[in-house]
Amino acid sequence: NLRVQLQKMEAGASDHETVAEDLWAQLRKMEADASDKDEVEEDLRAQLREMEAGASEKDKVEDGLRTQLRKMEAGASDRENVEVQLRHVQTRNAELENELQEFQQVQLRKAKLKDVDVAVQTDFAEPEKPEKGVRSARTKKKSVFFNTAPGGSESSIPGAVEHAVSETRSQRAHFKSVDFGQHDEDVSYTPMSSSEDDDDGAMSAMTSRTSRTSMMSQTSEYYDMYNETSRPALHRARSELESYSEEDLWDPEHVARVTRKLFPKHDKDRTGRIDWASGEAKKFLEEFFWLHKQPPPKIPNAPFQSLYDQVKTENDGYHDDTDDKGLNVEEMTAFAIKVHQFVYKQLGKEMRAQRKSFAVTEEELATLHRASIEMHMGEDAQATAARMLRRNTIMATPDLSGLTEKE
């Protein structure tokens, strides 16, 4: 029995060694797996650190992009301000050029009139009229002369009063029409006959009181595209207020102040609202724009109605009630501002291009200078030319190349 038990124990010991070897093999395998797991964990940690570094860089990139975006928005606002200033400078420059051109034309016409007047006084001789017994009523006094033969200085009637007529009479003729040429061309004129002179003499006072002349600048001639007449003073709504400039339209306080002054005039029913259906709102806008030396806006009905609806919507006053038709003072102020902005945006480019086409070229300025200097010979002419040159220098076109390049 002992031998059998010993054999069993030996067999169990061999099995135990086998199991122990298996366990050692499993342990070594587990240790190898643990080392692999550590390596994987290290790799994962390295990847995690790389991802965190990439996230930080991404945040930096996003911050940089946001900064650039803010700079671009600030640059866009600055560019808009520069464009607005550029538009004002171009408008003012065009006005100054028009004033300079009108001034030069007036000076040129005055010089030509002076030369024509001098030529007529020196070259034209009035025909002698035969002496009559009774003088016409055109002299200062009616005098009856008898025995007026040459050499007889005494009157045949005692006590008769003789009226001595001045021998030096003005050798000046009246002109029916004068045609001014361009620059260096001659001036052509048509003398008025004696019969026309007599007829026009009686009507001169009445004609001077009733006739109206209007000189239009190049910019005013451009406004004829709005179907306005060349004599706007006879058709536009007169206003008792003072006139302003186009730059004042950009000031909301100024627009509100002028609107409050004009509102009672167009509030026909004294309801506190200007009726839209009767067309009184358009009349208000016409007078409002004429006050600022601007033509009345000619806007189609569709955008006009759209601007009106927009004003009513913003002021929470657009309803279907009949009592709510029309615009009050605040709504009319907003409506005038929106109409001005709409006109300026739609017609700004076309107006600026048209005004640039009216600019005086250097050749025309040189021709005008030469003509004025040739007509006025002397110190006065030189002084006038110097003043005109200084004025031209002051009104020279500013250098806007830097602004245009930025655009």
Same domain, 325 and 182: no
In a domain, 38, yes or no: yes
Same domain, 38 and 115: yes
In a domain, 402, yes or no: no
Same domain, 253 and 338: yes
**Least confident window among 82-86, 126-130, 238-242, 277-281:** 238-242
Same domain, 194 and 292: no
Residue that wins the pLDDT comparison between 235 and 106:
106
Same domain, 181 and 279: no
Same domain, 182 and 254: no
Same domain, 86 and 175: yes
Query: Closest Cα partner for 149 from 126, 127, 169, 133?
Result: 133
Where helices occur in 130-251 by DSSP H, the ranges are 194-210, 218-222
In a domain, 130, yes or no: no
Same domain, 5 and 113: yes
In a domain, 262, yes or no: yes
Helix, strand, coil proportions of the chain in percent (round to 5)? 65, 5, 30
Same domain, 253 and 309: yes
Q: What is the mean pLDDT of residues 83-105?
A: 86
Q: What is the mean pLDDT of the chain?
A: 66
Identify the pLDDT of residue 374.
62
CA–CA distances in Å: residue 93 to residues 353, 386, 396: 13, 21, 8
In a domain, 155, yes or no: no
Question: What is the share, in percent, of the chain residues with pLDDT greater than 70?
Answer: 51
Q: What is the mean pLDDT of residues 382-395?
A: 60
Segment 254-278, tens digit of pLDDT: 888 888 888 888 888 788 888 777 7
In a domain, 79, yes or no: yes
Segment 35-84, tens digit of pLDDT: 888 888 888 888 888 888 888 888 888 888 888 888 888 888 888 888 88
CB distance 259 to 333 below 8 Å: yes
In a domain, 405, yes or no: no
**Least confident window among 32-36, 332-336, 359-363:** 359-363
In a domain, 84, yes or no: yes
Same domain, 266 and 185: no
Write the DSSP string, 203-235.
HHHHHHHH-------HHHHHGGGGT--S-GGGT
Domain of residue 273, residue span: 245-375
Identify the pLDDT of residue 375.
58
Residue 236 has pLDDT above 50, yes or no: no
Report the alpha-carbon distance of residue 179 to residue 66 in Å, rounded. 69
Number of domains forming the structure of the chain: 2
Banded pLDDT at 184 (limits 50, 70, 90): very low
Same domain, 35 and 181: yes
Same domain, 92 and 186: yes
